[in-house]
């Protein structure tokens, strides 16, 4: 939209002493001629923009003209910029970039260096390792559907491996522990559901619009305690010494209880120290995969039925690689 572009130009100029017209044209994906027409409109609105000729020249705001920053304190500005930088690590939104420029632009030039230092003291990078093109394309589609209030169709594979066609009314995109979800009203199940984006394929934004329902905050599922004592089991795991760092990474240093082996080895070596952890998790397929992910470096002590289930899964895995076992 033209209005968004004009506002974006003002914000960029407010944040930088000077910028090339071509850089603005590339940023907003328009021609240089369009940028100069926009500059004329901004001047007519009473915001003084001047052109600097010669080498190193460009376009800039008149000296002394800056957006008033008195509405926010330094600490508030640092908090906002840090939050925006964190969001941009996982979701590349042009509107967020413009807002980030706006927040940075209202910092006085004399305080710019100190402000940059403060906003780099605490970095939250929510992005996964490596680019995930399919996920980014899916996010863009679903964001458009949420904004425009359009129905979405897709094929979904649930946690039990069952595949079904779904038609939903999308409400909110949720990032939870580096995993994207879509909170939506499922027309097939006639209730709100949380869908994991990695399990969605053949996503199609449909032409049909829908009227959004009023959602009570009490119904939002991602704020509920997934591993609460009400629906979780007490799991006791024994980690070998070489996997201590993995146990600390998942459960924290304080959760590890050192345990000496009952007997030393036949060579007279000192018995290997092991570590026991007690944690609460809901019992499902994810839990079995989580335990197996530690390989031979962990042993389930309790409950007995979890120990037996993991043992059976391990046997079946062994059969795949060695049919004679």
Whether 145 and 206 share a structural domain: yes
Residue of 26, 319, 275 lying closest to 9 (CA atoms): 26
The string of pLDDT tens digits covering residues 77-128 is: 677 777 766 666 666 666 666 667 766 666 766 777 777 777 766 666 656 5
- The CATH number covering residue 38 comes to 1.10.10.10
What range does the domain containing 86 cover? 74-119
Residue 190 lies in a domain: yes
Whether 151 and 200 share a structural domain: yes
The proportion of the chain whose per-residue pLDDT surpasses 90, expressed as a percent, equals 19
pLDDT of residue 29: 81
User: Quick one: three-class SS letters along the chain?
Assistant: CHHHHHHHHHHHHHHCCCECHHHHHHHHCCCHHHHHHHHHHHHHCCCCEEEECCCCCEEEECCCCCCCCCCCCHHHHHHHHHHHHHHHCCCCCHHHHHHHHHHHHCCCHHHHHHHHHHHCCCCCCCCCCCCCHHHHHHHHHHHHHHHHCEEEEEEEECCCCCEEEEEEEEEEEEEECCEEEEEEEECCCCEEEEEEHHHEEEEEEEEEECCCCCCCHHHCHHHCCCCCCCCCEEEEEEECHHHHHHHHHHHCHHHCEEEECCCCCCCCCCCCEEEEEEEEECCCHHHHHHHHCCHHHEEEEECHHHHHHHHHHHHHHHHHHCCCC
- The CATH number covering residue 162 comes to 2.30.30
How many domains is the chain built from? 4
The string of pLDDT tens digits covering residues 133-176 is: 577 788 888 988 988 999 999 999 887 778 999 999 999 888 77
Whether 273 and 201 share a structural domain: no
Higher-pLDDT residue of 200 and 127 is 200
Residue 82 lies in a domain: yes
Residue 124 lies in a domain: no
Whether 303 and 238 share a structural domain: yes
Give the distance from CA 244 to its chain's centroid: 28
Residue 267 lies in a domain: yes
Residue 154 lies in a domain: yes
Residue 138 lies in a domain: yes
Whether 109 and 141 share a structural domain: no
Give the number of other Cβ atoms within 10 Å of residue 216's Cβ: 7
Residue 66 lies in a domain: no
Q: What is the mean pLDDT of the chain?
A: 78
Residue 110 lies in a domain: yes
Which domain-ending residue is among 218, 251, 276? 218
The proportion of the chain whose per-residue pLDDT surpasses 70, expressed as a percent, equals 69
């Amino acid at each position: 939209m033209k209005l968004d572009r004009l506002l974006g130009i003002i914000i960029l100029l407010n944040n930088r002493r000077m910028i090339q017209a071509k850089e603005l044209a590339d940023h907003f994906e328009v021609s240089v001629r369009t940028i100069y027409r926009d500059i004329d409109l901004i001047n007519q609105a009473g915001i003084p923009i001047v052109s600097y000729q010669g080498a190193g020249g460009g376009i800039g705001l008149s000296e002394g003209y800056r957006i008033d920053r008195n509405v926010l304190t330094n600490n508030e500005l640092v908090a906002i910029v840090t939050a925006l930088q964190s969001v941009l690590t996982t979701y590349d939104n042009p509107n967020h970039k413009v807002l980030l420029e706006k927040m940075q632009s209202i910092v006085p030039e004399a305080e710019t260096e100190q402000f940059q230092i403060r906003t780099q003291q605490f970095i939250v990078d929510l992005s996964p390792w490596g680019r995930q093109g399919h996920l980014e394309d899916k996010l863009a589609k679903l964001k458009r559907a949420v904004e425009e209030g359009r129905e979405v169709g897709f094929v979904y594979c649930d946690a039990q491996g069952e595949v079904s066609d779904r038609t939903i009314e999308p409400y909110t995109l949720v990032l939870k522990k580096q995993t994207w979800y879509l909170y939506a009203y499922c027309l097939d199940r006639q209730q709100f559901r949380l869908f994991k984006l990695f399990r969605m394929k053949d996503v199609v934004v449909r032409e049909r619009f829908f009227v959004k329902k009023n959602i009570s905050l009490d119904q939002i599922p991602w704020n509920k305690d997934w591993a609460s004592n009400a629906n979780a089991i007490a799991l006791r795991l024994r980690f070998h010494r070489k996997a201590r760092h993995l146990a600390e990474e998942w459960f924290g240093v304080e959760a590890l209880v050192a345990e000496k082996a009952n007997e030393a080895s036949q060579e007279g070596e000192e018995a290997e120290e092991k570590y026991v952890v007690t944690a609460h998790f809901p019992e499902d397929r994810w839990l079995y995969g989580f335990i197996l992910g530690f390989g031979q470096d962990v042993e389930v002590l309790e409950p007995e039925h979890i120990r037996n289930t993991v043992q059976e899964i391990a046997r079946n895995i062994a059969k795949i690689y060695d049919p004679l076992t």
